[in-house]
Structure 1
Amino acid sequence: MSEVVQYRKIIHIDMDAFYASVEQLDNPDLRGKPLAVGGSEMRGVVSAASYEARKFGVRSAMSGVQAKRYCPELLFVPPRFDRYKEISSKIRKIFLEYTDLVEPLSLDEAYLDVTVNKMNNPSASLIAQEIRRKIYEEVGLTASAGISVNKFVAKIASDYNKPNGQKTVNPDEVEAFLEKLDIKKFYGVGKVTTEKMYQLGIFSGFDLKQKSLEFLEKHFSNSGNYYYQICRGIHNSQVKPNRTIKSIGAERTFFENLSSEVFLEDKIISIANELEKRLQKSKIAGKTITLKLKYSDFSLQTRSKTLPYYISDKNLIIDIAKELLYQERLKNSVRLLGLSLNNLNNQEKKTSEPIQKSISVQLQFDFKEK
């Protein structure tokens, strides 16, 4: 008698253009118009863009100047993070109606493990549909979803039918789905790695699957094993409701570029004040302080120092940040300054898991749309 393979059912929910959609929800005059949250046509960086703006090529992390060049009719609004957190909390409550296994990735996306769920619904696809419908009815925003046997495939799938759609990748479809996928769409494969893979003749999941573990470890070091597994649909990371914070930071983009360390000292003080508040709220301290500088040409530089003890006091943070500031001369005028603390005292020792050559399994369930 053959053994029945049993799978987990994972949903990845991703809100559609979340920040921009919240602004359009609260201000009807902005609906249907190209909108950018953050930045301005003179300064700053776009934090989020509405779908109307994306049609013109406007994207997050793009400078306001470039965004305005792409879309002359683009409207800019300042971010309202308190409002985004308020909406995010309402969405989180909806998730928890279905399962306690909810792992937020940010304010606008989360993983849900609904293998065993509070509704006793055997269909992961129907649960995702119901959650999306509830979000729209109770919050007024649309969401997209990906459903599959693990977090990796579910996250990729959630991007397939955006906005306001979903895609299910059934257990017997996982490998074929990944084989056809452009390598740049693999979660965890960034721009630099994509270019390197292209140079090695790896353009799709199928191409990646043809490479041996030894080849991938040779060219991608420790990440080689990760790439070897994901192209085969192997990703055993569990949905973790309490994700460990690895870094806490704060930063400021200036209205005018600053070209002197003396002017930056004042900014360090205000940023350190904000960082201290965030550390106190999270009840966390850290050993490594990093100073982040973004220059007028958009190049980035970081300078770090690790202490033999944990700190969270703003005065100590300020002293070390100033030390890092004067560590070397500025390369150019500065448009953004940031401070972050990592190597935190909340880090738990992780047990290493053996490499598995098959998809992690728990329960059999129905993926099919009904």
Structure 2
Amino acid sequence: MIGQAETLPFLAPRPISLIYGVGKVFAETLRRDGLVTIGQLQAEPSETLTRRYGETGARLARLARGEDSRRISPDGEMKTVSSETTFTSDISSLDSLSTQLLQVTERLSERLKAKGLVGDTVTLKLKSAGFRLRTRARHLMIPTQLANVIYETGLSLLEREVDGTAFRLIGIGVSGIDAADGTDPADLLEPAVARRAAAERAMDRVRTRFGRTAVVRGKLYQQTPAPQPADLLDDDQNEGKTR
């Protein structure tokens, strides 16, 4: 265990890419700006990083100093919001699995938005035809409730698991839950992310006015309705537990 006094010197010589959420594209942008090690981030005022990179910069400044406000539960449980579905027949292809993933992701995103929540860790759940369970997780730099962000993260995890195994269940969840502040800050360094976020917000407004079937993503159009996902927060006794 590292004490508070040792945190800064321990982190300083390490590369920025070790910080959760800093991918290759963002790391290259930081490198061009002269930021390669965590120590160089520590030397930059938080205001400067925020001005350059928005909320992402503010989060970088905190993490570079070892500041993480997420609560740690001593019993190992973490509040999670998730959605899952069991297939009527086993599925092994990436195309079919990704379609099911998108369906449960949209359900999950709707629930997060309705409850005013965001999460910073995405977890994929798969259960094989032989009832063997696989879970894979990825931490996000910015907490989110957007279906597009959650789906793309879950899909990157799913692609590594498609190996010919037949699966009977897929689920997606987010943990590191916190209250949304009314926005889902898009990475200013990734204009495509901002455009997709704006499109999703517009789609949400149409669905709010005309119903959730008023706008359907192309991948889900004319798909056979999937079994009703198990939204874990529907049951109060499941709230606050990871599944």
- Greater share of helix residues, 1 or 2? 2
Relative to the length of structure 2, the TM-score reads: 0.41
Q: More relative contact order in 1 or in 2 (CA 8 Å, sep 6+)? A: 2
Relative to the length of structure 1, the TM-score reads: 0.27
